[in-house]
Amino acid sequence: MGAAGALDVLIVSLGSTTGLRTADEALGASIARAGATVQIASATAPRAVRTMALTDLLWARAARLATEQRLNGPTRPRAIIYSSTTAALLWPRPGAIRFDAPAAGNRPGRHGLWQRPLERRRLAEAPLLLPLSEGGLAEVPPAARAGDRVLVLGLAAEPSGPPAPERDIAAITYAPNPAKKGLDRVLAAWRELRRDSAQPGELLVAGVAPEVLRDAGIDLGSEAGVRCMGRLGQAEYRALLRRSRVFVCAPRREDYGAAQLEALADGCLLVTTPAPGPYAALPIARELDPRLVSEDLVAALRAALQAPAEGYADRAARLLAPFSREAVDRRVAQELLPRLLGS
């Protein structure tokens, strides 16, 4: 592709969560495997502020600064991918926008007062839109997604290693944003399950530090049968998935659900509420076992732990075939790069 020393693609990454950083690194690796040169410009995390609108402004400014630093460097990229609509809001140069969900869907009311109108402009100006799912694209205003400027490009979800000899962990949940992920509802269901059932084992809470939980009004020190694992490296977290029987979550909204797809890939049964939003794992979970998709988390957990459906993991592996690394790499090489860089 590019000549020696040239840069084909710059990915502008907010990296505000481990999941976002992992997704951007995976996209960069896929682009590199296709033969293009790629770099990631990571925004520096801004100070914590109280409102979502101000938080997005500070992250958008940080993304602009990270982009400008690369554009003013010795090597200018041929194409830019902004990872999230927030990263693109104050862009210094137009580029493709990759997103799980737009502010039009996940920033209602005052939370997206300034973001939504600017986002509509950026989505209309972008040479290419890269939603993670058809559901995420559906939340983009029709005028902004007009024309042949869309390529749905999901995240790869594959087993992280061989299954553990024994699944000795009853359940695990991932809650980097406890309120959005509905951790309070998961804990309430686990309490009730422990009262009504024989000893169900232990629930692990991953992806969130104890101090963040305390700030959210959650004290796991008083929760029997629950253990906080804190923030974990990807390898350590995925090793826990391979030991877990159930992945449970109760999101109030799900913009994509990479953690749920990873859990399915690593052989967990998925217990979830039917959350609104472009929730990619939801139709898969319903097809695998509709008993486990319910607002009644206690009943769903009891079914998963006491009467799991036969062949669940094997059927999940088949349904996850479109999310394989090979499938994503093929789409990057055959569809993304030609549209970003020309044939």
Higher pLDDT, 16 or 343: 16
Q: Are strands 77-83 and 7-13 parallel, antiparallel or unpaired?
A: parallel
Percent of the chain with pLDDT over 70: 98
Question: With bands split at pLDDT 50, 70 and 90, how would you rate the model's confidence at 222?
Answer: confident
The 10s digit of each residue's pLDDT in 66-82 is 999 999 988 899 999 99
Class of domain 169-322: alpha beta
Q: Is the pLDDT of residue 48 over 90?
A: no
Q: Is the pLDDT of residue 2 over 60?
A: no
The CATH code that applies to domain 7-156+324-341 is 3.40.50.2000
- CA pair distance 148, 215, nearest whole angstrom: 45
Cα 35 to chain centroid, rounded: 26
Of 116, 99, 22, whose CA–CA distance to 256 is shortest? 99
- CA pair distance 93, 264, nearest whole angstrom: 38
Domain boundaries, given as residue ranges, for the chain: 7-156+324-341, 169-322
Percent of the chain with pLDDT over 90: 81
| 169-322 has the same fold as 7-156+324-341 | yes
User: For position 66, what pLDDT does the model report?
Assistant: 96
The 10s digit of each residue's pLDDT in 97-134 is 999 999 888 898 888 889 999 999 999 999 999 999 99
- CA pair distance 174, 287, nearest whole angstrom: 22
User: For position 147, what pLDDT does the model report?
Assistant: 75
User: For position 1, what pLDDT does the model report?
Assistant: 61
